[in-house]
A and B are shown apart, each in its own frame.
Chain A
Amino acid sequence: MGFEKFLFYVLSLITVWSSVMVITRKNPVHSVLFLVLAFVASAALWVLLEAEFLGIVLILVYVGAVMVLFLFVVMMLDVDIATLRAGFIGYLPLGLLIAAVMAVEIFLIVGPANFGLAAFPSPEPAGVDASNTRDLGLLLYTVYVYPVEIAAVILLVAIVAAIRLTLRRRPDNKYVDPARQVRVRKGPDRVRLVSMATEDLAPAPAGATIADKGESQ
C-alpha cells in the first residue's frame, strides 16, 4: 500500500504542477505540451484506480488526437500573447479571490467529511483476470445502449458542423487530380483528328499567309 500511495502523490504532484504550467507559460505550444503531460499523469492515476480502459482511452483520444488538434489550432492562429495578457494583472486579485473561495468550498464539501473512507469504504481490489473493458462493454451495450446511440448522433453532428464551418472550395487552386490523369485514354482523349474540306491557298498578303499557316499547324 505504501508504494501505491507514494506513486499516487508523485503522479498527483505532476498533474497539478503541469496544469499550473499550462496556464502560466507564455508560449502556447509549451502550454499544449504541458497539457499533454497533465493528461498522461491523469491516465496513470486512472490506471492506479484500476480503471485501465479509461486510462488508455485518455491517452488514445486526448493525447493522440485532441492535443494534435490543439497544436494545429495554436499554430493556425496568430496569437498575440502580449495583448491577450494586457488585463491579466488587473483581473488577478479578483480572480484569485474567487478561485480561493471556490477551492475552500469544494474542499469543505468534497473533503473527508462527506466523501471520506467512513462514507465510502475503499472497494476490494479487482482480481487479476478482471477486465474492465469487458465490464464496460457489458454495461454500455445493454443498460446504456440508448445513450450510446445518442453519442453516435453527437459525433455525426460534429462532422456536419466542422465541415460546414471550415470547408471552403478554392476555385483558384491549380490542382491535379491523378485519378483523372490516369483515366485518359490513349486515342480519343489525347489527339482529336478532324476531317475537313481542303482549303484553297488563295493569293493573299504575305503576312496573313504566315499567320494562317501558324493557325493550321
Chain B
Amino acid sequence: MLDNYLPILIFIIVGILVGVGPLVLGYLLGPRRPDSEKDSPYECGFEAFETARLKFDVRYYLVAILFIIFDLEIAFLFPWAVALKELGIFAFWAMVVFLGILVVGFVYEWKKGALEWE
C-alpha cells in the first residue's frame, strides 16, 4: 500500500530541499561577522519601544470562524460528490436540505453585515 505514496515522498523531499537548501547555502557561504549591536532588535535606529506583537481585532476571529463553518461543509460535500452516482436522488435532496439549512445562516450573516469590513 505504501508504494502508492512514493511520488508523494519524493515530492516532500524536494519540497524540503527547496525550502531548506537556500538557507543552508546562505549559512555556509555568506560572510558572518556578528556583534551585539547588529543582533539586537531596532526600530529605525531607536531601541525597541514595546513588543512587536500587536493585538488583533476581534473581527479576524469572526471571519475565521465563519470560514471554518463553510470549510466543514466542504468536508461533507466531498464524500457526497464522490458517491452521488450510486446514491441517487435521495442523497441529492439530503444535500439540498443540508445546504438549505446553511444558506439560512449565510443569508443571516450577509444581511447582518458580518461579512463587511467597515
Interface residues of A (CB under 8 A from B): 3-4, 7, 47, 50, 53, 57, 60-61, 64-66, 68-69, 72-73, 75-78, 125-126, 128, 131, 133-138, 140-142, 145, 148-149, 151-153, 155-156, 158-160, 162-163, 166-167, 169-170, 173, 175
Q: Which of B21-29, B34-42, B84-92 contacts A (4 or more CB under 8 A)?
A: B84-92
Q: How many A-B residue pairs have CB under 8 A?
A: 145
Q: Which of A47, A65, A135 has the most CB of B within 10 A?
A: A65
**A167 touching B113 by the CB < 8 A rule?**
yes
**A142 touching B87 by the CB < 8 A rule?**
yes
Chain A nearest CB: distance from B101 CB in Å? Answer: 4
**A141 touching B95 by the CB < 8 A rule?**
yes
Q: Which B residues touch A72, using CB under 8 A?
A: 56, 60-61, 64
Partner of A69, one of B5, B65, B84, B118: B65
Given A75-B55, A140-B79, A170-B118, 14 more A-B residue pairs with CB atoms under 8 Å apart are: A4-B2, A47-B5, A68-B64, A72-B60, A134-B79, A134-B83, A137-B79, A137-B80, A142-B87, A148-B98, A149-B94, A152-B97, A162-B62, A167-B62
**A61 touching B97 by the CB < 8 A rule?**
no
Chain A nearest CB: distance from B43 CB in Å? Answer: 20
Cα A165 to Cα B78 in complex, Å, equals 31
Q: Which of A50, A73, A78, A135 has the most CB of B within 10 A?
A: A73
